[in-house]
Structure 1
Amino acid sequence: MVIVGGGPGGYVAAIRAAQLGLQTAVVEKSALGGTCLNLGCIPTKAMLSSVEALETARRGAEFGFHAENVTPDYAAIVSRREKIVAQLRSGVEQLMRARKIAVVPGAASLRSPQEVEVMRNGDRQRLQARHVILATGSVPAQPPIPGADLPGVVNSDGLLRLERVPERLAIVGSGAVGLEWGAIFAALGTQVVVFEMVDRILPPADAEISAELAKILARRGFEFHVSATVQAIESADGGLRVRFATPDRGDQAAMADVVLLATGRVPYTEGLGLDRVGIALERRAIPVDDRMRTRVPGVFAIGDCVPGPQLAHVASKEGEVAVENIAGRTARMSYRAVPFCVYTHPEVAWVGLTEEEARQERGEVRVGRFPFRFLGRALAAGTREGLVKIVAEPRYGEVLGVHMLGPHVTDLIAEATLAVAMEATVDELIHTIHAHPTMPEAVMESALDVWQRAIHKP
């Protein structure tokens, strides 16, 4: 088997294939770990951890200590980030060696459904395989905004290359990428302004969670313009001028030193030779069924290059599903219980249906809420912001969706994901004993609140 791409979809698929006794090669033109490890999830989380420690030190008096002259060292933050990335990348390389998985450097192209050509520095190599998995990932979208190619206008990859903290950062797009980078630089003293084309930030999230997050981030210095159309980016006064318009105030402008284009990502399929084997793209993605099979026998596709959530953990699961089917087993991919995480301060996480989606799909629903400010563990940790919200079916209490804003909710979402996946009821969450004092008690209290029985909510 040949896997094209060594990101979280490709390398996990390779390891699972090795476990099942399949001879496997991974073709990777850049670095093992893909965008997530090298340019996305891990680098940003390392930097977010650094600025979280910085913010805690600045609040030292609240915790009973005094830290004088706490200042960030951006070069040291970047150095720590790169060390973490290098360590994890080395770990993936070691896993490949331990499983005797061949890693072939270069750019891959399909010559036939059973033959992959690899190009590197002008040299060609052809690999034969009974099955091929395409795991080529995605690249940042380039919106058609005049001036988007000016110096200082960057995507998320380019922001990693900044050598200093900008005084002013404009962000086009308020999804996870835009808000996380905004959180990093706001904590480092940057003036952050965010433009969002729809009427609220973080559009995929539950509307109530989105509104509460906007209030919290605004208190931390974020400036938001929603229902905003970015018309152009121009060089002006030694910086960049972003021209935009909103329905209530018309044409406006904002100045920035750096502009981040965070308008999503698009599947990367360039040079794969898909037309040569008869694979036609649909909305720029490779169409697959629930076994991750393309229309061409023997060719599978997973991760960001196929339709569906562009998330590392989704890609990994799709990789396992593809390999299970290649090995003669039966596995099907379900997207019913996919956790979404945003690592701002405070964090956001959700799984299942939003309240709006549930009402549209089911009609009547019941909703339980529990704010972290009533939770002992949260007060002890000095993290009072946010809440847990459960959306449930009204008769039996099936958990339809769980939405969280607050401390470490990207960890708490695991319990909620299991509940949605298992079609659990709020009573099953209620009857599960939750340790005290812990953050997950907010999940139990929110479940109780569905029946208006929360213990610690006034």
Structure 2
Amino acid sequence: MTKSYDIAVIGGGPGGYMAALHAARFGKKVMLVEKDFLGGTCLNRGCIPSKTWLKNAEIIEAIELSREWGIQTDNITISLDKMKKRKDEVISRLRNGVMFLLKQGKIDVYEAEGFVEEGNIVKVVSDKKEERVQTDKIIVATGSSPSVPPIDGLDSASFYTSDTIFDIEKIPSSLTIIGGGVIGVELATIFSSLKTNVTIIEMGGRIIPTEDADASKALAKSLQKKGVQILTDAKVTSVKQNGDKTIVECLNEKGESVSVEGEALLVSVGRKPNLSAVQAVKLEQNGPFIKVNEKMETSYPNIYAVGDVIGGYQLAHAAYMEGIVAASNAAGCERKMDEKVVPRCIFTLPEVASVGLTEEEAERKGLQVKAERFDLAGNGKALVSGDTSGFIKIVYDEKYGEIIGVTMVGPHVTEMISEASSFISLEGTVEELANMIHPHPTISESFFDVARNIIDKSKK
């Protein structure tokens, strides 16, 4: 072994490249190993391509709404080729940006596959050669892959996952989506705007089941208004290919058999960790994922893990902070991850954003809380925008008024949720929020309106 590094990072996604950049800022000699494209799932197959196409969906909806506002337009024509070209251009530009930052940080990037071995050694394997590198600390950021359930007949049928759907060759006339989580509802939004007949099959009692029940209800109503069919409490029993159609058989909540036929099938039922890089070391696991503490330390000395491979929220911005925390600790500067202030965003139309505990989660924990909701039907900017279907809900401690959770549904609420994150991080109260001046007319002033309503009710 002729090379040695202070810190080695395996994986070039958000958690990995952020860890590498942060470690370099501490003056450490850093290597990063990535076998695929820099940027990971988020940049190449997830957040960025989906948001690029969701912008198309937003524009299509705006054009259709404009006809009711006196703006006459011809029929919309859609070029999937141009949509894909723009998506690829955005991805390429951001990829180059990541590479520029890594070069600027003087980080050695290996286009190869990395494997952790005992003794703080990273085996680097590429098409050209294999070498072993000595390191002081290792940060594992190998990400995750789409989980494909063992459904009868699925292995012999044609289907997409979130990794492949953005390379689809034509807009399907109909699309069946197995899974009503974040990926499922975002892609339902995209394809319904492209006039595809979309059906979501969700095993749970509602879509986005980990989010606030009112948010789930509002989003379901919006999707159904756009023609999306939603089957909940539905268990998929088999998949069959019939020519150019895919038939999904499932049982509904009554135990009755339901058949859904579609030109295309998307399977989006969660993700599994990529663990091949750590098979040589016995890391303690949390279910299928690598177990870490709040410092991102694994059960093995000098090995840290961040991002999708540790489970949790599996969000790029969570991975960013996990990477910063891991790099800080690996560099000898103690830091801890605060999971309670991680915002969660769903880029549907309307958008859904939340942070902290939902009302249901707080009640399950036995906390003495109250919740207050303000509907956007009473918001001037929402009326101007023609989108009043959303709301803002605050969950707060009954005794002290401390805000412990916020859920928002409406236009561009993903741009507003950081204010709620700040409040929760700073242990802010509804009284403090009610004393803050918000600009008018904006959607954001509804956050103030909720707090004002809480204070007014408390004085009665």
Give the corresponding residue for 1:305: 309
Give the corresponding residue for 2:332: 328
What is the CA deviation profile of residues 336-391 of structure 1, one whole-angstrom value per residue up to 9, with x for unaligned ones?
12111100100001111111122232454222111112111111222211100111
Residue 363 and residue 9 in structure 1: after superposition, are their counterparts in 2 closer, same or farther (change >3 A)? closer
What is the CA deviation profile of residues 105-128 of structure 1, one whole-angstrom value per residue up to 9, with x for unaligned ones?
111111224211111115202222
Are 1:34 and 2:31 counterparts?
no
Is contact 2:158-2:241 (8 Å) kept?
A: no
Counterpart mapping for 1:266-345 below 5 A = 266-270=272-276, 272-274=277-279, 276-345=280-349
Give the corresponding residue for 2:199: 193
Q: Which stretch of structure 1 is more off in the superposition, 114-123 or 203-212?
A: 114-123
Is contact 2:400-2:429 (8 Å) kept?
A: yes
| 1:331 CA displacement | 0.4
In 1, Cα distance between the equivalents of 2:355 and 2:367?
Answer: 19
| 1:298 CA displacement | 1.1
Pick from 102, 108, 117: which aligns with 2:114?
Answer: 108
| 1:329 CA displacement | 1.1
Counterpart mapping for 1:237-276 below 5 A = 238-248=244-254, 250-270=256-276, 272-274=277-279, 276=280
Is contact 2:175-2:266 (8 Å) kept?
A: yes
| 1:240 CA displacement | 0.8
Pick from 354, 357, 369: which aligns with 1:365?
Answer: 369
Counterpart mapping for 1:75-94 below 5 A = 75-94=81-100
Give the corresponding residue for 1:205: 211
Pick from 44, 48, 63: which aligns with 2:50?
Answer: 44
* Structure 1 SS opposite 2:261: strand
- 2:81 counterpart letter in structure 1: A
In 1, Cα distance between the equivalents of 2:94 and 2:457?
Answer: 45
Counterpart mapping for 1:170-189 below 5 A = 170-189=176-195
Structure 1 residues without counterparts, runs of 5 or longer:
none
Is contact 1:192-1:221 (8 Å) kept?
A: yes
Give the corresponding residue for 2:173: 167
| 1:147 CA displacement | 2.0
- 2:328 counterpart letter in structure 1: E
Are 1:433 and 2:437 counterparts?
yes
Is contact 2:284-2:298 (8 Å) kept?
A: no
In 1, Cα distance between the equivalents of 2:243 and 2:115?
Answer: 46
In 1, Cα distance between the equivalents of 2:177 and 2:79?
Answer: 23
In 1, Cα distance between the equivalents of 2:98 and 2:53?
Answer: 21
What is the CA deviation profile of residues 131-154 of structure 1, one whole-angstrom value per residue up to 9, with x for unaligned ones?
110000000001111122234212
Pick from 351, 360, 373: which aligns with 1:356?
Answer: 360
In 2, Cα distance between the equivalents of 1:24 and 1:2?
Answer: 6
| 1:208 CA displacement | 1.3
In 1, Cα distance between the equivalents of 2:364 and 2:140?
Answer: 36
In 1, Cα distance between the equivalents of 2:157 and 2:64?
Answer: 34
- 1:152 counterpart letter in structure 2: S
Aligned length in residues: 452
- 1:390 counterpart letter in structure 2: I
- 2:27 counterpart letter in structure 1: G
In 2, Cα distance between the equivalents of 1:350 and 1:407?
Answer: 14
* Structure 1 SS opposite 2:95: helix
* Structure 2 SS opposite 1:94: helix
Give the corresponding residue for 2:29: 23
What is the CA deviation profile of residues 64-102 of structure 1, one whole-angstrom value per residue up to 9, with x for unaligned ones?
422212222111111111111111011001111111111
Is contact 1:152-1:257 (8 Å) kept?
A: no
Q: Which stretch of structure 1 is more off in the superposition, 358-367 or 18-27?
A: 358-367
In 2, Cα distance between the equivalents of 1:365 and 1:296?
Answer: 40
User: Over aligned residue pairs, what C-alpha RMSD do you find?
Assistant: 1.5
* Structure 1 SS opposite 2:372: strand
- 1:373 counterpart letter in structure 2: A
Q: Which stretch of structure 1 is more off in the superposition, 54-63 or 410-419?
A: 54-63
| 1:322 CA displacement | 0.8
Give the corresponding residue for 1:445: 449
Q: Which stretch of structure 1 is more off in the superposition, 420-429 or 43-52?
A: 420-429
- 1:447 counterpart letter in structure 2: A
**TM-score, structure 2 as length reference:** 0.95
Identity %: 37
* Structure 1 SS opposite 2:392: strand
In 2, Cα distance between the equivalents of 1:184 and 1:433?
Answer: 36
- 2:68 counterpart letter in structure 1: E
In 2, Cα distance between the equivalents of 1:237 and 1:127?
Answer: 51
- 1:327 counterpart letter in structure 2: A
Is contact 1:113-1:296 (8 Å) kept?
A: no
- 2:362 counterpart letter in structure 1: A
* Structure 2 SS opposite 1:157: coil
In 1, Cα distance between the equivalents of 2:363 and 2:297?
Answer: 34
Structure 2 residues without counterparts, runs of 5 or longer:
1-6
Give the corresponding residue for 1:71: 77
| 1:453 CA displacement | 5.4
* Structure 1 SS opposite 2:180: coil
Counterpart mapping for 1:98-177 below 5 A = 98-121=104-127, 123-177=129-183
| 1:280 CA displacement | 4.0
In 2, Cα distance between the equivalents of 1:427 and 1:252?
Answer: 51
